[in-house]
A and B are shown apart, each in its own frame.
Chain A
């Protein structure tokens, strides 16, 4: 069985928290609420760690290094998993491409 394809997360793109998101720590992760939404999302595990790691804009490569303890040993899988998590949080309005390139 072949490995799943890597997600379409450009390696040079830096990601950051959307500035218009309300958020707070919970006992097991992070809760986020985009300013213009009524849907609160609970982030746990890798997604929570990803959010907390993004105190400054980072590329997917940097995030893979920062989140190593949450990830598989296979580099391709690590990039795919982090890329998927980024895209999920972007879709929820929590993350965005950094405006500081």
Chain B
């Protein structure tokens, strides 16, 4: 992976911050020359930001030529459809696991979007992850081995120096209703910690994951104390605070919340000698094609 050019990175960062409560990062309002548009829309697609771009354009936050708006509408409809197909796969696999009495949790994709985002429609996904045990993984393997996968079934998630199993997540689970079917899901505090772990595990900062972290961290009903307890129980508190600090810096979030105060305090060398100052993402966003 290499860094994208700084000009485009600024465009992507501005778009990733679009509509984010408390962010002072400005979204480039357009217009785009044809060649600029070509590269920008490709980059947005690669970074999972097309949904945000479509909403920004529809609300007048980004001005596009008519042919650009038409192209974007087509692309967004395709991604919305793909996101629904991911959910359809989740409903089927989760239903099978539930019927068999096998514990499982949805840990990303629609769980983050529908439980954490103020406007879930802006967040699209091409796949999702279901955490279960060995019995569950074996049971649903025939349903999830096709291409495209759309749903990854895992028996462990990497969490810093250790791994998490489905039994490490809260029980009872949060229930996400998809097509009137109950899907056991990580709770919103666990989703935030898991998003921070995804950020930590990425080779380069991922703006979409940082946006996920911001949305979840600013979710009005999130319980900061439960986030802290979950992070400590999983042994990843320092990774979570680092991800939160980087999120606040990247999007220049003005709001101070219990989570941001906790993270900033933990990152402060005066309070935590193990802390590592996190920089912004500029110059380090992964190139995706």
Inter-chain contacts of B182 with A (CB < 8 A): none
The 8 Å CB contact of A24, one of B80, B91, B181, is: B80
B167 at the interface (CB under 8 A from A): no
The 8 Å CB contact of B76, one of A21, A22, A23, A27, is: A27
State the Cβ distance, B99 to closest chain A Cβ, in Å. 16
B83 at the interface (CB under 8 A from A): yes
Q: Range of interface residues on chain B?
A: 20 to 34
* CB contact list, B263-283 vs A, under 8 A: none
Knowing A35-B88, A40-B80 touch, does A21 contact B54 (C-beta < 8 A)?
no
A90 at the interface (CB under 8 A from B): no
Residues of A in contact, count (CB < 8 Å): 17
- Chain A, residues 15-31, CB within 8 Å of chain B (1/0): the string is 00001111111111001
Knowing A22-B88, A35-B88, A35-B179 touch, does A27 contact B57 (C-beta < 8 A)?
yes
Inter-chain contacts of A38 with B (CB < 8 A): 85
B161 at the interface (CB under 8 A from A): no
State the Cβ distance, A33 to closest chain B Cβ, in Å. 4
* CB contact list, B158-182 vs A, under 8 A: 178-181
Q: Is the CB of A25 within 8 A of B121?
A: yes
Knowing A26-B77, A28-B58, A35-B91 touch, does A40 contact B85 (C-beta < 8 A)?
yes
A35 to B85, CA, bound (A): 9
- Chain B, residues 72-93, CB within 8 Å of chain A (1/0): the string is 0100110011011101100100
The 8 Å CB contact of A25, one of B85, B87, B119, B178, is: B119
Inter-chain contacts of A85 with B (CB < 8 A): none
State the Cβ distance, A41 to closest chain B Cβ, in Å. 9
Q: Is the CB of A42 within 8 A of B80?
A: yes
* CB contact list, A1-54 vs B, under 8 A: 19-28, 31-33, 35, 38, 40, 42
B120 at the interface (CB under 8 A from A): yes
Q: Is the CB of A22 within 8 A of B179?
A: yes
Q: Is the CB of A20 within 8 A of B179?
A: yes
A23 to B85, CA, bound (A): 10
CB-based nearest B residue for A38: B85
The 8 Å CB contact of B83, one of A21, A24, A28, is: A24
A26 to B179, CA, bound (A): 17
Inter-chain contacts of B54 with A (CB < 8 A): 26-28
B32 at the interface (CB under 8 A from A): no
- Chain B, residues 240-284, CB within 8 Å of chain A (1/0): the string is 000000000000000000000000000000000000000000000
Closest 9 CB pairs of A and B: A25-B121, A40-B81, A27-B54, A27-B58, A19-B180, A33-B84, A31-B80, A35-B179, A27-B55
Q: List 11 A-B contacts (CB under 8 A).
A: A22-B88, A22-B178, A25-B121, A27-B54, A27-B76, A28-B73, A31-B80, A31-B84, A33-B85, A35-B91, A40-B85
